[in-house]
Each structure stands twice: as structure tokens, then as C-alpha cells.
Amino acid sequence: MNETFVRLLCPDCQKTWERKPNQLPAHTDRFACDGCEAEYRTAEFTRTDRDLDVLKQFQ
């Protein structure tokens, strides 16, 4: 079985990284960038609509 990851992109510093969906807060909750500490809704960090769909599916 393949592990599922959500690809993330910080709107402020443009840092990219991946996390397992169960390691992230709900898509409507606040989340802080690992690099610059910018804080937005988790959904705003998802790179694509597909990443957002995966995040929603696991929450």
C-alpha cells in the first residue's frame, strides 16, 4: 500500500514540503509554515486542488 502525502507550499516564503494528511490540522484550521512561521488556513498551503481533496478526505 502506498502512503499518501499532501504537498504544501507557503504563500509567503514559497517553501515546499510534504506531510501525511493525518499530521495536518483540518483544512479550515490555522496552520503555520515550517520555514517562516506565516499562518493561514491549512487549505491555503495545499499546492493543488488534488492535495486539498486528499487533505479533506482524511479529516
Q: How confident is the model at residue 1 (pLDDT cuts 50, 70, 90)?
A: low
pLDDT value at 45 more than 60: yes
pLDDT digit string, tens, across residues 5-30: 999 999 999 999 999 999 999 999 99
Per domain, the residue ranges of the chain are 6-57
pLDDT at 59: 83
Please tell me the pTM assigned to this model: 0.90
Q: Is 23 exposed, middle or buried (0-12, 13-18, 19+ CB in 10 A)?
A: exposed
Averaged pLDDT for residues 26-43: 96
**Is residue 5 within 8 Å of residue 47, measured between CB atoms?**
no
